[in-house]
Amino acid sequence: MSSPSNLTGSKNYFEDFEVGMVIRHSRGKTVTNLENVLITNLVMNSADGHFNKDKMSRSSFGKILSYGGVNFSLVLGLASQDCCENALMELGLDNIRLTKPVHHGDTLYAYSEVLEKSDSDRADAGIIVYRHFGVNQEQQVVAQVDRKVLLKKRPAA
Amino acid sequence: MAAEFIEKAVLWPKGNLYEDFHVGQKFEHHWGRTIFESDNALFSTLTLSFVPLYFNRTYAKSHGHPDVVLNPQLLFNVTLGLSVEDCSEIGGPFLGVYNLVYHKPAYPGVTLTASSTTVDMRVSGSNPEMGIVTWETEGRDEDGDLLVSFRRSNLVRRRGEGK
């Protein structure tokens, strides 16, 4: 078996992040039934505004609203490879704000700012707090979330 | 002309409105859910959560875990999902989540149950037809150990006078 460190990137360890850095993540993802309806149902969210097209056609939105939990989970996902691929544990989230409705067909992109960097109780890892932003195809911010992660330090060569 | 059964049917409604809440109220939410390995793989891949702990068992074991680690965002979303009928199914949009803590790693096969306490209520300043309700919600495993906890606020519709 190859070393675990060969399976993940080499430029995203604890040492590679500095407070104030802002990262634009390279991939976007379009929200469809697969993201919104599948995940909303998978996690037992029973609010049918996220999966009843008929009802929502008669609402002021006019169409299905993508569930906020899906929207910010997708933003966290889009940022995960760069920010958390070498994580030992995700410790928590804070300041989650959903600032714009998201509908099927909207495309989300992610940006991350490094808010804090500190030591942990492990010598081989430190703690980073990121602020992730989710932006739609019109560059409007749709979601914001802070994530605290225990991130590995670069293994000795 | 609607079929007779449609005219005869009585709606069994779901969900709560602003007046149904009071500070200190506790909810033990319905159902619970066992989280399967397939849920975790589907959730992690669909959200592009490219953290190998969540989908590579060998990698997870080499980091001291007995199995793949459940994506914590899945734990959070199931906990919130189980709370929806009691807290927010018909009320209005979800405004924010704060102080979310992942207390310990969880693994496939865990059975999650959710509970909430209503901790704050106020009428919206900008729209008096709506209120803002805040709950502290917890997700626990089958041994009662805390896995995830958070505070969330929702806009919740008020019943209004004479309605």
Question: What's the per-residue H, E or C state across A56-120?
Answer: HHCCCCCCCECCHHHHHHHHHHHCHHHHHCCEEEEEEEEEEEECCCCECCCEEEEEEEEEEEEEC
Domain A16-152 has CATH 3.90.25.10: no
Under 8 Å CB-to-CB from A106, ≥6 apart: which residues?
A30, A31, A66, A136, A137, A142
Contact A7 B52 (CB under 8 A): yes
CA dihedral B62, B65, B71, B75 (to 10 degrees): 180
Quick one: which of A147, A153, A140 has its CA closest to A100?
A140
In angstroms, rounded to a whole number, what is the distance separating the alpha carbons of residues B131 and B87? 13
A71 and A108 Cβ atoms separated by less than 8 Å? yes
B68 and A19 Cβ atoms separated by less than 8 Å? no
Question: Taking the CA atoms of chain B, what radius of gyration do you get in angstroms?
Answer: 19
Check pLDDT > 50 for residue B70. yes
Nearest-by-CA chain B residue for A91: B102
CA distance B50 to chain A (A): 5
The CATH code belonging to domain B21-157 is 3.10.129.10
Share of chain B above pLDDT 70, in %: 98
Average the pLDDT over each of A3-12, A19-28, B35-44, B116-125 and give the range with the smallest value: A3-12
In degrees and rounded to multiples of 5, residue B8 shows phi and psi of: -85, -20
Domain spans, chain A: 16-152
Domain spans, chain B: 21-157
Q: What's the whole-number mean pLDDT along residues B128-134?
A: 95
pTM for this model (two decimals): 0.95
pLDDT score recorded for residue B160: 76
Q: What is the mean pLDDT of chain B?
A: 95
Q: What's the whole-number mean pLDDT along residues A18-39?
A: 98
Between positions 115 and 154 of A, the ones with CB within 8 A of B are none
B155 bridge partner residues: B132
In angstroms, rounded to a whole number, what is the distance separating the alpha carbons of residues B121 and A47? 21
Quick one: which of A33, A27, A65, A32 has its CA closest to A47?
A65
Question: Taking the CA atoms of chain A, what radius of gyration do you get in angstroms?
Answer: 18
- Tokens for A95, please give them: 């300041």
Q: How far is CA B7 from each of CA B2, B14, B94, rounded to the nearest angstrom?
A: 7, 20, 34
- CB-CB neighbors (< 8 A) of A85 in chain B: 50-52
pLDDT score recorded for residue B163: 47
Nearest to A38 among B46, B85, B97 (CB): B46
Pairing of strands B111-123, B146-157: unpaired
In angstroms, rounded to a whole number, what is the distance separating the alpha carbons of residues B76 and B98? 12
CA distance A143 to chain B (A): 10
In angstroms, rounded to a whole number, what is the distance separating the alpha carbons of residues A114 and A22? 7
